[in-house]
Amino acid sequence: MKKKQQQQHGGAGGCPDTRPPAAAAAAAGGGPGPGGGWRRRRPLSLLPFLSLRDYGFCMAALLLFCLGSLFYQLNGGPPHFLLDLRHYLGNSTYLDDHGPPPQKVLPFPSQVVYNRVGKCGSRTVVLLLRILSEKHGFNLVTSDIHNKTRLTKNEQMELIKNISTAEQPYLFTRHVHFLNFSRFGGDQPVYINIIRDPVNRFLSNYFFRRFGDWRGEQNHMIRTPSMRQEERYLDINVCILENYPECSNPRLFYIIPYFCGQHPRCREPGEWALERAKLNVNENFLLVGILEELEDVLLLLERFLPHYFKDVLSIYKNPEHRKLGNLTVTVKKTVPSPEAIQILYQRMRYEYEFYYYVKEQFHLLKRKFGLKSLIRKPRPRPEFFIPSPLETEEPIDDEEEDDEKWLEDIYKR
């Protein structure tokens, strides 16, 4: 009797079955439907509250997240579009948590200035720099101004600002006297330069202004159109011996101001300008080379500044480059008489003191790096027998060659 009651009120455990009759019947396998009168219920879904469209949206969002993570790992940081999105939506906390993204690693030094001295091989070096900048990817910064080496204070500030804001690594080149960047609050760049024997530099400039070089027979006419015929064909000995302005001081005092700087006394031939130029060479110039030993200059530049001058020597020795370089040789040069040369030595005594000082420093540097100079008969230093008075009249602006124009002409050939 008890057993029968237990079957009526529950299961074998004696617990009453609280399910409604229809659910109980379905659990027992009966009910409406095929074969049993009731349809068997499907198992519960993991996300019973999502529709198929919502489920597709979630999968698309997950895919975007995965792609974003992939970009993060490949680029070493978060994708730019995600940072822009976070910035658009609100202040991002990424920089607070991780700091700024790593900056571009720059070579050292990454700021170089070549304030090239006129008629000291500068056009050859500029042509090499054009090739090297394309090869190594540094920023070669040039100027459209070629005949203004002395600047006012405001002009100095403006030029320094323009140079300092250039994309690094850069190499800036222009005919300009030494600029002190730190005086105006800028980072002092590394300077490089090349000089040559002062008398040879003067003679090259003298005849170049009158007759040009092998690049074209008429280029000197374009460069000095206002020069009178009697001045153009003025004999070099007459110019020197009769003390024409072009062949006397202060115009012969040319190299030292490129290293002395923008101070007015730097344009006056004397000990003050000479000593200041030496000081700047020691403190601000990585290398001052000698044009007569140009291959050694290029070799040292390649060692000191490989990210700028790597392979420069092989490019310089290339026959095609040599062919272009020969076009810059000044034509119709003549040698002055010994008397005229002796007078030039006397007028350029400070230039020669500086030249031999730089040459000695350059040879010390070569020996330090194991470079041997070519064995040549040393040229005797000039003897200054008769000290001549050095005039200090206001210098006349020297006309410089438009380097950019002749380079463009070469590339067009």
Residue numbers annotated as active site:
175
d(CA 139, CA 172): 8
CA quadruple 60, 61, 66, 72: dihedral sign: positive
3-state secondary structure of 256: coil
Q: What is the token pair recorded at 125?
A: 């070096």
Give me 33's structure tokens: 């439907």
Residue carrying the six token digits 């997950």:
62
Evaluate whether 33 touches 25 at the Cβ level (below 8 Å).
no
- DSSP string for 340-375: HHHHHHHHTHHHHHHHHHHHHHHHHHHHHTT-----
Classify each residue of 189-220 as buried b or exposed e, where b means 16 or more C-beta atoms within 10 Å of its C-beta.
Answer: bbbbbbbbbbbebbbbbbbbbbbbbebeeebb
Tokens of 172: 């800036």
CA–chain centroid gap for 303, Å, is 17
> For residue 39, what are the contacts with CB-CB under 8 A and spacing of at least 6?
31, 32, 33
| DSSP assignment of 299-316 | HHHHHH-HHHHTTHHHHH
Q: For residue 191, list its beta bridge partners.
A: 113, 285
**Residues 190/286, Cβ–Cβ less than 8 Å:** yes
Burial 388-405 (b: 16+ CB within 10 A, else e): eebbeeebeebebbebee
Q: By CB neighbour count within 10 A (0-12 exposed, 13-18 middle, 19+ buried), where does 74 fall?
A: exposed
